[in-house]
Each structure stands twice: as structure tokens, then as C-alpha cells.
Amino acid sequence: MSIGKIAQSLGVELSSSSREQIMEKERWLKLADAPFPYHDYKVNYDGNIYIAQQCIADRNALLFDQFQYEAEEAQVNTDTWCVGVWVKVRAIINGKEHSVRQYGVHTISKLRGDVKPVGDAMEQAIKSAVSDGMKKCSSWLGIAAHIYRGEVISIRANRNKEGQSQSKFYLQNLEKFGLSEYEYKYGIPVLPDSFKSFYEKMDWTDGIFYSDVFGYRDHQEDEHIPSEKMEKKTEKVQERSEAESPAFINDMQANYLRGLIYDFNENAQEADIVQAIIAYLVKRKVDVVQEAEEMGRRFTTVDALPSVHFTSVHRYFKQLRRARLESTEEKSA
């Protein structure tokens, strides 16, 4: 979205110097958020899209005049075996210094049946948490922001305890595109059609796009398709999405909710965040504790939140975070 167009729509006049600064910033953000090669998009254990830290670091090196990060001491929650660490990034963009601080998180890997992690699992989790924090900071500065907007989606493998995929849709698309199940173990990345033009200009030929998977085309071509047929296609896509949708929120969503609280309360415990969710949903006449139990889990950790409530809880936490931060600023003033 162009700031210049917003200003014009609001009747706000911009000086020539302001317009030039805005245009320069918008050009930089376009470069920062440019698509990556298809093989750089990965699907993690929970079925979420991510880009490896080295790929983000390479993009940072291309666009930032300088880039430095500091990681604070990692905090380990032994109830959930989750590592959290605050990461602060200082970057110089077009001669101006920017500073961002984000909370990186990662779940410590442990073997089934083990009470606690063994070997170097803790050390690896801390490194991954720092990497997560750095990537979040980079995204706040514009790097690969499309990942956090959810523009790249995944066809999840939905594997059972034996490691076998429970998704026919996933297996069908592995065969359709001639993909290796080993390479795409947890899912297949699917790119938005808006990336097609960029891929063509870059001579990248290996992308898999929405229209390749779900059958509908981009907006200009949609005008030639009878609306009734388009509705049926959209309904089928929705049915597939619902079939792939998990009952509970995933680790990335849970960590995102935790991060919103940690932004204004670094000492918040898992139980505090769970109680905040329960209190909010009670006001909405939802007994989330009973609901989770009926679905087979106890609501004692954030990741046991039924996925149907994620959007409303996310909005509430963002409002709560904004209000608390504004209150803190007023007191300090």
C-alpha cells in the first residue's frame, strides 16, 4: 500500500522532500520483502512456513549498511520445555539507525518417554530461539515480511505417531508435482500467484503456486470464469483447508501469543497467560477449559488453546499490549 496514495485520499499535502523520503522507503521495503527462491521456503514440524536463518542473513547483508544483534540470557520453562530469549537488532538503513527488540522462542526437542531433554538439545534450542528472534527483528524491518503475513501457505503432511502422512491431499500433490516425500517431509510450500511475475523475471522455474494447487487463476483471468464455477472452486478449497486445520493452535501461534504478553510483562509465567485467556473467554461466555478437555487436552498451557479461538484471543492480547505500553509511557512521562 502506497503512503502517497493514502495521503492523497485523505487530502494531506506532502512536501517534495517528504514525498522523496517516502518513495525511497517504499522502494527499500519492496526489495526487503521480495520473494525468495522456492527451495528457500521450508515447512517445519508443525506445518508452518519458515525461511532458514542463513537465507535471511544473506538478504540482510545485501540491504543493511550495518547489522548487529545482541541476545540476552535465555529463559527456560521446564513446564513446557520451551526456551525464550530477547534479541535486539541494530541496523543502519540508508544511513539511518533502526533498533528492534523481539522475543525468540523454541521448543526443546526430547525423545518420547524422556522426562527431560538429553545431550545438546538445550544448547540447540537456545541457538534456534536466538535465530527466531533475529528473524522476527528482520521481519519488523521489512525482510521477508510476507512470511508473517501468511501469504505463503503449506499443504501439511499431518503425520501420525508412526510418521505416516494422514493427508491424502498432501500425498496427491507430492505425486502431482513429482516431489520427494523425504525433502518435503512436513509439508509442501505454496506461493501466492502474485509471485509469478517476479519468478518469471528472475528465471526461476520451480515455484508451486496457489493456482497450480487449487485450480483458480489470478484476478484478471477470473473475469472469464462463470461466477458459479468459481464459487464451487472456492468452496472446495475451503473444505480442503478445514480438513487440514488442526484442533489446537500450533507452536508458532502459541509462541506469538506469549510474545505479545512478554512485550510488556517479561516475568509472566505460562499459568498467568493461560489464566488471562480463560478470563477473556469467560467474558465471551466460552468455557475454554471444558472445551479443551472435551477435545482431549487439559488447558494448562497456551498451545492447548482450541484453534477456533486464536483470532479473537490474538486481537485481545494485541489490544491489551497496546494499552499496557501506552500506560507505561504515560507514567514515565
Same domain for 237 and 272?
Answer: no
Same domain for 122 and 206?
Answer: yes
Residue with cell string 538503513: 93
Same domain for 263 and 308?
Answer: yes
Backbone angles phi, psi at 114, to 5 degrees: -75, 140
Total residue count of the chain as it appears in this document: 333
Q: What is the pTM of this model?
A: 0.62
- Give the 3-state DSSP-derived string for the chain, with helices as H, strands as E and coil as C: CCHHHHHHHHCCCCCHHHHHHHHHHHHHHHHHCCCCCHHHEEECCCCCEEECHHHHHHHHHHHCCEEEEEECCCEEECCCCEEEEEEEEEEEECCEEEEEEEEEEEECCCCCCCCCCCCCHHHHHHHHHHHHHHHHHHHHCCCCHHHHCCCCEEEECCECCCCCECCHHHHHHHHHHCCCCCCCCCEEEEECHHHHHHHHHCCCCCCCEHHHHHCCCCHHHHCCCCHHHHHHHHHHHHHHHHHHCCCECCHHHHHHHHHHHHCCCCCCCHHHHHHHHHHHHHHCCCCHHHHHHHCCCCCCCHHHCEHHHHHHHHHHHHHHHHHHHHHHHHHHC
Same domain for 197 and 294?
Answer: no
Tens-binned pLDDT, residue by residue, of the chain (333 aa) = 667 777 777 787 878 888 888 888 889 999 999 999 999 999 988 788 999 889 999 999 999 999 999 999 888 888 888 899 999 999 999 888 999 999 998 888 766 666 677 778 888 899 999 999 999 999 999 999 999 888 898 898 988 888 899 888 899 999 999 999 999 999 999 999 999 999 999 999 999 998 888 764 444 344 333 434 434 444 454 444 444 457 888 877 888 888 888 777 777 888 889 988 998 998 888 999 989 888 888 898 898 999 899 988 988 888 887 777 666 555 555
Among candidate residues 187, 215, 244, the one where a domain is terminated:
244
The domain total for the chain is 3
Among candidate residues 185, 213, 244, the one where a domain is terminated:
244
Same domain for 128 and 267?
Answer: no
Same domain for 126 and 50?
Answer: yes
Distance CA 40, CA 258 (A): 27
Distance CA 81, CA 78 (A): 5
pLDDT at position 234: 40
Same domain for 211 and 98?
Answer: yes
Distance CA 248, CA 254 (A): 10
User: The domain containing residue 283 runs over which residues?
Assistant: 251-332
Radius of gyration of the CA atoms of the chain, in A: 22
Same domain for 21 and 52?
Answer: no
